[in-house]
Chains A and B, each alone.
Chain A
Amino acid sequence: MSANKDSDGWRTFVWNSEKKEFLGRTGISWLKIFLFYVIFYGCLAGIFIGTIQALLLTLSNYKPTYQDRVAPPGLSHTPRSLKSEISFSLSDPGSYMKYTETVENFLAKYDELRQADQMKFEDCGDSPMSYTDRGSLDSDQGQRKACRFHRSLLAGCSGESDPHYGFKDGKPCIIVKLNRVVNFRPKAPANNQTLPDPLQTRSQPNLIPIFCKNKRDEDVDKIGEIKYFGLGEGFPLQYYPYYGKLLQPQYLQPLVAIQFTNLTRDQELRIECKAYGANIGYSEKDRYQGRFDVNKYLFCCT
């Protein structure tokens, strides 16, 4: 009974034939309210778009207004770890195929052929040198040249001699780069004391060195020898600063290849790599700021 009444009430609400009302309003009423909202939202949208446009006008195309969230830069590596680990089996090429492919793709940019254009690239020396100044960011000099970085600098990990980047032999390479930050000039370590022992002897004035070691104490004997490839086995400073996407679209950041030549197999190993510099910071919360750690897990060849 009451349900009947209810549905009747609903029906009248949806379409009241007596008053010719649809959902409680007549056609004219709907038209009026519709017009009102068209105008209202039109004005609001206008104001919104206007403010956003005005906001964009205040922004420089070349220089970010603030960089406090992005600096100090992160240290990222290729291949990326999936589920925070890199694991593969020597006996199963498929298991490391995805890693070698990503490295291959990543290094494609660093092919010599792509860096041939003299208008866009220049040589910046074979040894670490100081910053290359290409004028201020907001001056109208147009596009800037970028320093060449050939993948051959990565020697054993360049993929030129070994398309499997050592994965096949259980000596995997990972390629490390310092994240790009516009106008960021990384500084070499201020004093040697802060560096880990093996680095202290190798320290150079215009280089951000990188060093990997076991993250966990029990792994200390299981990691074996680690080889570093690249220009001065670190990030040479002549590649900095970066001038941004618009001014330096072809920019190549310097790379370091890290090869683990004697990893203990069938063991999960936690390795932490750190870049060292006076203005390279680390954060408790961000595991990729100035350092990273990867879990490596090699299956035995059986």
Chain B
Amino acid sequence: MFEMDGEMDKKKKKKKKINKKEKMEGMKKEMDIVSKRQTPQGFRGLTSAFAAQVLERDGPNELKPPKGTPEYVKFARQLAGGLQCLMWVAACICFIAFGIELARGNVTCFDNLYLAITLIAVVVVTGCFGYYQEFKSTNIIASFKNLVPQQAIVIRDGQKNQINAHQLVVGDLVEIKGGDGIPADIRIITSQACKVDNSSLTGESEPQTRTPECTHENPLETRNIAFFSTTCMEGTVTTGMIINTGDRTIIGRIATLASGVGNEKTPIAIEIEHFVDIIAGLAIFFGFTFFVVAMFIGYAFLEAMIFFMAIVVAYVPEGLLATVTVCLSLTAKRLARKNCVVKNLEAVETLGSTSVICSDKTGTLTQNRMTVAHLWFDNHIHAADTTEDQSGKSFDQSSETWRSLARVASLCNRATFRPDQEGVPIPKRLVVGDASETALLKFTELTVGNIVDYRERFKKAVELPFNSTNKFQVSIHELDDPLDLRYLLVMKGAPERILERCSTILIKGQELPLDEQWSEAFQTAYMDLGGLGERVLGFCHLHLNEKEYPRGCPFDPDEMNFPTSGLCFAGLISMIDPPRATVPDAVMKCRTAGIRVVMVTGDHPITARAIAANVGIITEGSETVEDIAQRKRIPVEQVNKRDARACVISGGQLKDMSSDELDEALRSHPEMVFARTSPQQKLIIVESCQRLGSIVAVTGDGVNDSPALKKADIGVAMGIAGSDAAKNAADMILLDDNFASIVTGVEQGRLIFDNLKKSIAYTLTKNIPELTPYLIYITVSVPLPLGCITILFIELATDIYPSVSLAYEKAESDIMNLKPRNPRQHRLVNEALAVYSYFQIGAIQSYAGFTDYFAAMAQEGWFPLLCVGLRPQWEDVHLQDLQDSYGQEWTFSQRLYQQYTCYTVFFVSIEICQISDVLIRKTRRLSVFQQGFFRNRVLVSAIVFQLLLGNLLCYCPGMPNIFNFMPIRVQWWFVPVPYGILIFVYDEIRKLGVRRFPGSWWDQELYY
């Protein structure tokens, strides 16, 4: 946080700068005051009364949830979207119409009431749906709450008490021991070998020592402050004084920062909003136009209002939002099976439009466990097997030197396996010990065999653990040969320190004097291994003279009464956190998919670079500016930066760069690695990528990654290593922490974008055959061909399943070979899609509906020409003897049932055409024959379902009086079939044209 402030000062505008500085200084001041005023009270702690006062002043020690909008407002917002408002208006008009008819004593027709109720139900149900989605994704602060430890030991009035952590106040003395969570930001007063795990806060994976000395100006760096939400790993009783509580702690500030970073709208949300606005606008435009037309023609005001309502109902795609949501959640489910859990549904699609992935190194690209990668002995570098499942090749183990080296590595090692892990493969076993010892333990277990036994055979006499002044670790063992009474001294440590202590070197089992030549060979090997970004350790041993050091000799580690020079150098072993096996492929896939992978890591630049090169983030042959300078032997400043494809920037350099420089660097170097970055700098990198117009995915696991995760277009948290806060801020969680899973996500995201396009095209098409009946009804005054309730049945019952089934469609081409879509150019719903759906396929469907309508009317006695202008008499409730084309007289009810027959016939026509429509929507470019008719089983079953539901609605007894469906004659099902075939053939011709003549007028106008 402090560090971040420092960085932000430079990057952000001046106003902010002042604010932040003030804040920071404020905090420092408070710290000073607290430490000065409170320490004299010594170890008696605060008095309870004083603590109560401070508690009163500061509030409890807990993170306050941000002041969110009240729940009912959120819910109300869901009910007040563009389309929803239209539906409300429509429902109101229905109620008014019903009320007026009721007042007139005319209760023949409850349609308007039903319609109003249905419309409200639709709005409320979709509202609940949306509210539920939002509710699920916004409980970000909840996990911060979980971080607060329940209990803490506090010293007050000179007594130790266990109290709830949220009762703690500034100035309280608290006691912490290994395993406890830190209850607030505390300054250490006394400590014994205290180590804290700051990984969730700063990203440092090694436990940090905490001592009372102040070692640094920066609170994040200094050793004497432990932070709220981190845990104490080791150490007996440590006391500390609380300097910050609740929201004023570092973590609290990050929490407020995370909630302060606005939730960026996902691209698909923008798309859909954009598109819904257009639809709503058009609906109002159409409705209003025909309202005016109706008034002009001479309809009563109420009738004209009902027309307006009907047009709105017909034109608004009521089922669309549900369809989109279901399609997205289907993909989310599919992703969950592949270890990606999507928290925010829309993120699925965002992933598809991702153009930059900012990835962590540790755990995501790598296996997150140190593994022995190389050995140097006998003047050769040998490669060890670093694969996760030990499927790689091993090296030649026949050399005598190897036996000695392995012995040193096995013995000079304090790490042990946790018990009861016989069944677990060695690389996956849990180990007590630090990372490099663990790596060596596993390595020797794999190569030498049972290490426990081995160590038993060489009894340990004494041991001196590694410390930072000596930079070596030494232990002395008895030999396994009972006759050989010599002691064996084994030592490992920093290679240069080890070499200093050696006088001989072991080559092919022979001890040779360590002369200049071997020294040089060692240096070369050391440089090589270091250049690979690996952590190198040197190993040496010495057989102690049995006379000088007989059995039972009292070795003392503190006095070091044993030789530590003149040793025999055995070899070097280097370790690295190796890349995951699937990652290079995944990175390659990203590259072909036009996605840039940027590595952002806290690791050393050399290691970062080595891993980047290993997994393909820096490709073979790519050079950094420094490489070019070295190759050409010119100063770095003279190198043309554009020549360098790759670039490694460290956190220190980043600090001194302005945002423009960073943008420039990102623009000119396609292969970027950021090393030694603080997690806060991630936010800056993300912002820079976004300024360049990229859709950015960011991975992160620490608490302080959460602002970056929120800022990113799609935040990806790690399921295993990730903190709850990171998981909460993220849109997606990788259960296996594997980078390759992101690529799967990208693929699914791209697929769903294509398929959503198809789904929406399918859904939109039928709005035209739903709308035209009203237009014709109003202008030509035919009996109404299609009722509002029937329309709602199409929208919300029969057509939902087919439109969802399109989400199961396979990709038409290799979508991972295309560039990511440009959100500004490739819209979800573009002009071509709307025009083709509305004015071509929709038009054909309308014709199909009217043909069937006129057929049903004519066969019952009402010829088409008679129908024109018939409406006023047809709808006259008191006219009981209206003559048809044959002179037959119809009562009002008979006419009404005939009208319902027409509704049903029109409904059936739309259904038949929609079956054809769903078939053509399977592909946008390929022929359906190439795609396969039956490959999408869900789609086939959706068509069957649609037909069955259509039949049920038509032929179920009681339907006529409830839902205005009539049992219709069989032949009327077949009238629209030729139009269905026409749709299919026409679309095949369209696709043929698009395939044959890319870039032609046909392609431009008709490809959506």
Where the two chains meet, the residues of A that have a C-beta atom closer than 8 Å to any C-beta of B are: 32-33, 36-37, 40-41, 44, 47-48, 51-52, 55-56, 59, 62-70, 73-74, 76-77, 80-84, 177, 179-182, 242, 244-246, 248-249, 251, 283, 285-289, 292
Q: Decide: B982 and A47 in contact? CB cutoff 8 A.
A: yes
Q: Among A73, A81, A82, which residue has the most Cβ atoms of chain B within 10 A?
A: A73
Take A64-B860, A179-B881, A288-B880 as given contacts and tell me if A69 and B886 are in contact as well, using a CB distance cutoff of 8 Å: no
Chain B residues within 8 Å of A56, by CB:
858, 863-864
Q: Decide: A242 and B887 in contact? CB cutoff 8 A.
A: yes
Residue of B843, B860, B863, B887 touching A244 (CB-CB under 8 A): B887
Q: B316 → chain A, closest Cβ, in Å?
A: 25
Chain B residues within 8 Å of A251, by CB:
887
User: When A and B form their complex, which 8 residue pairs have the shortest distance between CB atoms, in order from nearest?
Assistant: A245-B887, A286-B893, A74-B891, A179-B889, A288-B891, A76-B880, A65-B859, A76-B881
Q: Decide: A70 and B982 in contact? CB cutoff 8 A.
A: no
B851 within 8 A of A: yes
Q: Decide: A182 and B888 in contact? CB cutoff 8 A.
A: yes
Q: Decide: B893 and A283 in contact? CB cutoff 8 A.
A: yes
Closest chain A residue to B897, Cβ basis: A69
Give 1 or 0 for each of B858-900: 1 = CB within 8 Å of chain A CB. Answer: 1111011000000000000011110111111111111001100
Q: A182 → chain B, closest Cβ, in Å?
A: 5
Q: B552 → chain A, closest Cβ, in Å?
A: 89
Where the two chains meet, the residues of B that have a C-beta atom closer than 8 Å to any C-beta of A are: 104-106, 839-840, 843-844, 847, 850-851, 854-855, 858-861, 863-864, 878-881, 883-894, 897-898, 901, 961, 969, 978, 982, 1001, 1005
Q: Decide: B886 and A244 in contact? CB cutoff 8 A.
A: yes
Cα–Cα distance between A286 and B895 once the two chains are bound (Å): 10
Q: A275 → chain B, closest Cβ, in Å?
A: 13
Chain B residues within 8 Å of A76, by CB:
880-881, 889, 891
Q: Decide: B889 and A180 in contact? CB cutoff 8 A.
A: yes
Take A59-B859, A70-B894 as given contacts and tell me if A52 and B854 are in contact as well, using a CB distance cutoff of 8 Å: yes
A-B contacts, 15 of them at CB < 8 A, read A51-B978, A52-B854, A56-B858, A59-B858, A62-B886, A68-B860, A69-B898, A73-B889, A74-B890, A80-B878, A80-B879, A83-B106, A180-B883, A180-B888, A246-B886
Chain B residues within 8 Å of A289, by CB:
891, 893-894
Q: Decide: A285 and B105 in contact? CB cutoff 8 A.
A: no
Q: Decide: B860 and A66 in contact? CB cutoff 8 A.
A: yes
Chain B residues within 8 Å of A80, by CB:
878-880
Take A44-B847, A244-B886 as given contacts and tell me if A69 and B859 are in contact as well, using a CB distance cutoff of 8 Å: no
Take A52-B854, A179-B880, A285-B893 as given contacts and tell me if A41 and B887 are in contact as well, using a CB distance cutoff of 8 Å: no
Chain A residues within 8 Å of B843, by CB:
40-41, 44
Q: B325 → chain A, closest Cβ, in Å?
A: 31
Q: A105 → chain B, closest Cβ, in Å?
A: 14
Q: Decide: A70 and B890 in contact? CB cutoff 8 A.
A: yes
Q: Decide: A33 and B840 in contact? CB cutoff 8 A.
A: no
Take A33-B1005, A40-B840 as given contacts and tell me if A181 and B880 are in contact as well, using a CB distance cutoff of 8 Å: no
Closest chain B residue to A62, Cβ basis: B886
Q: B973 → chain A, closest Cβ, in Å?
A: 15
Q: Decide: B886 and A182 in contact? CB cutoff 8 A.
A: yes
Chain B residues within 8 Å of A65, by CB:
858-861
Q: B961 → chain A, closest Cβ, in Å?
A: 7
Q: Decide: B880 and A64 in contact? CB cutoff 8 A.
A: no
Closest chain B residue to A292, Cβ basis: B880
Q: Among B105, B839, B884, which residue has the most Cβ atoms of chain A within 10 A?
A: B884
Chain B residues within 8 Å of A283, by CB:
893
Q: Decide: A52 and B864 in contact? CB cutoff 8 A.
A: yes
Chain B residues within 8 Å of A182, by CB:
886-888
Closest chain B residue to A81, Cβ basis: B878
Q: A83 → chain B, closest Cβ, in Å?
A: 6
Closest chain B residue to A286, Cβ basis: B893
Q: Decide: A74 and B889 in contact? CB cutoff 8 A.
A: yes
Chain B residues within 8 Å of A59, by CB:
858-859, 863
Q: A253 → chain B, closest Cβ, in Å?
A: 9
Chain A residues within 8 Å of B887, by CB:
180, 182, 242, 244-245, 248-249, 251
Known: A67-B861, A70-B884. 14 other contacts (CB 8 A): A56-B864, A64-B888, A65-B859, A69-B860, A74-B880, A74-B890, A76-B889, A83-B106, A244-B886, A245-B887, A286-B891, A286-B894, A289-B894, A292-B880
Q: Among B859, B885, B890, which residue has the most Cβ atoms of chain A within 10 A?
A: B890
Q: B104 → chain A, closest Cβ, in Å?
A: 8
Residue of A67, A81, A245, A288 touching B885 (CB-CB under 8 A): A245
Chain A residues within 8 Å of B854, by CB:
52, 55
Q: Among B879, B889, B1001, which residue has the most Cβ atoms of chain A within 10 A?
A: B889
Closest chain B residue to A242, Cβ basis: B887
Residue of A55, A81, A286 touching B858 (CB-CB under 8 A): A55
Closest chain B residue to A64, Cβ basis: B861
Q: B80 → chain A, closest Cβ, in Å?
A: 24
Chain B residues within 8 Å of A32, by CB:
1001
Q: Among B843, B847, B850, B881, which residue has the most Cβ atoms of chain A within 10 A?
A: B881
Cα–Cα distance between A70 and B843 once the two chains are bound (Å): 33
Cα–Cα distance between A55 and B961 once the two chains are bound (Å): 30
Residue of B863, B884, B894, B901 touching A74 (CB-CB under 8 A): B894
Q: Decide: A285 and B859 in contact? CB cutoff 8 A.
A: no
Cα–Cα distance between A55 and B969 once the two chains are bound (Å): 15
Chain A residues within 8 Å of B860, by CB:
64-70
Residue of B851, B881, B891, B893 touching A52 (CB-CB under 8 A): B851
Q: A213 → chain B, closest Cβ, in Å?
A: 20
Q: B505 → chain A, closest Cβ, in Å?
A: 75
Cα–Cα distance between A242 and B889 once the two chains are bound (Å): 11
Cα–Cα distance between A287 and B891 once the two chains are bound (Å): 9
Q: A138 → chain B, closest Cβ, in Å?
A: 13
Cα–Cα distance between A41 and B892 once the two chains are bound (Å): 36
Cα–Cα distance between A64 and B858 once the two chains are bound (Å): 8
Cα–Cα distance between A251 and B851 once the two chains are bound (Å): 33
Cα–Cα distance between A182 and B890 once the two chains are bound (Å): 12
Q: B551 → chain A, closest Cβ, in Å?
A: 89
Q: Decide: B892 and A70 in contact? CB cutoff 8 A.
A: no
Take A59-B859, A64-B860, A244-B887 as given contacts and tell me if A84 and B878 are in contact as well, using a CB distance cutoff of 8 Å: yes
Residue of B106, B851, B863 touching A48 (CB-CB under 8 A): B851
Q: Decide: A288 and B893 in contact? CB cutoff 8 A.
A: yes
Closest chain B residue to A283, Cβ basis: B893
Chain B residues within 8 Å of A292, by CB:
880
Q: A84 → chain B, closest Cβ, in Å?
A: 7
Q: B887 → chain A, closest Cβ, in Å?
A: 3
Q: Decide: B892 and A288 in contact? CB cutoff 8 A.
A: yes
Q: Decide: A285 and B894 in contact? CB cutoff 8 A.
A: no
Q: A234 → chain B, closest Cβ, in Å?
A: 18
Chain B residues within 8 Å of A84, by CB:
105, 878
Q: Decide: A179 and B861 in contact? CB cutoff 8 A.
A: no
Cα–Cα distance between A285 and B901 once the two chains are bound (Å): 16
Cα–Cα distance between A47 and B979 once the two chains are bound (Å): 9
Cα–Cα distance between A15 and B827 once the two chains are bound (Å): 23
Chain B residues within 8 Å of A41, by CB:
843
Closest chain B residue to A50, Cβ basis: B851
Q: Decide: A36 and B878 in contact? CB cutoff 8 A.
A: no
Q: Decide: B894 and A69 in contact? CB cutoff 8 A.
A: yes
Q: A39 → chain B, closest Cβ, in Å?
A: 12
Closest chain A residue to B1002, Cβ basis: A36
Residue of B850, B858, B901, B1001 touching A69 (CB-CB under 8 A): B901
